[in-house]
Structure 1
Amino acid sequence: MTLTATDSGTRALSGRARALAEDSAEWLHRVRLDPQGRWYERLHADDDHEVWIISWLPGQSTGFHDHGGSAGAFAVVLGELEEATVGDARTLESGEVRGFGERHVHDVRNVSAAPAVSVHVYSPPLSSMNRYDLGPEGELVTLRSESAEDW
């Protein structure tokens, strides 16, 4: 199955994330909760795409970041997450999927009182990410770049 960003936007990536979320019994037992930070594990990687699972305790977040040119999608499996972009925020509940293109910058966070679990699909596999902060006028300011070796 080829899961590239050219598949009608991110439909293929969103479909893969949705299918994995619906079949979470295959991998949910691997999830851990870590009060020190988000826990994550890569479930799958090949030349075409990769899949990550992430657990989120209340208050944990990614901070603003991009995906280094990869498109992606994530599905909320348990709980709810908030996705913030510059000037906007939306809540995604269990069963909801969010797909995004190669230039998407967001901050995903658990603002609820309960843990959350999500599954993420990226194509091509992540090779880098850029971290951002919001400047005084609400603009993105690059903080640093990370490579896959950093995770």
Structure 2
Amino acid sequence: MRRSDLMTAVGVRLDHLAIAQGFAASPERWPVAPRFDADERWYHRLAVTDDYEVWLLTWLPGQGTEIHDHGGSAGAFHVFRGTLTEDTVGTGGGTARVVSRELGEGTGRRFGEHHVHRMTNLSTQPAVSVHVYGPALTTMTKYRLGPAGLEVLTVERAGAQW
């Protein structure tokens, strides 16, 4: 995949979804095969550049993330196999609003640098997804929904917690 093929029409911003789809289209080029762990979600960084990083994640039924952001990084994800449910948290007028969407095999979506969400495998089958973040993740804030809206639980740092 050529870098120029991943630029948007404006020509200045990488198309993170196109990158995720490109990696998903060539699993034979992944440095590792997906693995599944009954105790926790498995993940492996497939690539890193000056502009973005690519992660491979696996999800057994019932596994998911907490509500989190990406520390100011934009990105995208692509469901390689299975089905995932994304709960996107938006805040407006002082209240938090959750929108759920089910994403099946071959689907994905882009998100901006202020995206807050949770992803879960609510299906009965394992799932595999490819995620792209640009720039590379440095922090992730985990939240919970409280009476006052989003409440910070922890801030994790790359190299320390993952």
TM-score, normalised via structure 1 length: 0.90
Per-residue Cα deviation, 1:32-52 (whole angstroms, up to 9, x for no partner): 000011000001112211000
Q: Report if the CA contact (8 A) 1:24-1:77 is conserved.
A: no
1:67-82 equivalences under 5 Å are 67-82=70-85
Q: For 2:100, give the aligned amino acid.
A: A
In the alignment, does 2:149 pair up with 1:146?
no
Which of 31, 34, 52 does residue 31 from structure 1 map onto?
34
Q: 1:20 aligns with which of 19, 23, 26?
A: 23
Kindly provide the amino acid, as one letter, of the partner of residue 128 in structure 2.
V
Q: Work out which of the two has the higher radius of gyration on C-alpha atoms and give 1 or 2.
A: 2
State the identity %: 47
Is the 2:31–2:46 Cα contact (8 Å) retained in structure 1?
no
Q: Equivalent residue for 2:63?
A: 60
- Could you tell which deviates more after superposition, 104-113 or 27-36? 27-36
Alpha-carbon distance in 2 for matches of 1:8, 1:136: 43
Q: Note if 1:108 corresponds to 2:111.
A: no
Q: Give the deviation of 1:19 after TM superposition.
A: 1.4
The superposition leaves residues 72-126 of structure 1 with CA deviations (integer Å, 9 ceiling, x where unpaired) of 1000000000000122100000000111000000001100001000000110000
The answer as to whether partners of 1:72 and 1:122 remain within 8 angstroms in 2 is yes
Give 3-state SS (helix, strand or coil) of 2:56's partner. Answer: strand
In structure 1, the partner of 2:133 is 122
Please report the RMSD computed on the Cα atoms of aligned residues, expressed in angstroms: 2.4
Whole-Å Cα distance in 2 between the matches of residues 35 and 100 of structure 1?
A: 29
Change (3 A) 1:93 1:8: farther
Query: Unaligned regions of 5+ residues in structure 1, if any?
Result: none
Amino acid at match of 1:56: W
Pick the aligned partner of 1:94 from 93, 105, 109. Answer: 105
Give how far 1:71 is off: 0.3
Q: Which runs of 5+ in 2 are unaligned?
A: 90-97
Q: Secondary structure at the match of 1:20?
A: helix
How many pairs does the alignment contain? 150
SS where residue 15 of structure 2 aligns?
A: helix
Q: In the TM superposition, what is the alpha-carbon distance from 1:24 to its structure 2 partner?
A: 2.1
Mapped contact 2:53–2:132 kept (Cα < 8 A): yes
C-alpha distance in 2 between matches for 1:70 and 1:4: 17
Please identify, of 21-30 and 61-70, the stretch whose mean Cα deviation from structure 2 is larger.
21-30
Q: CA deviation at 1:140?
A: 1.1
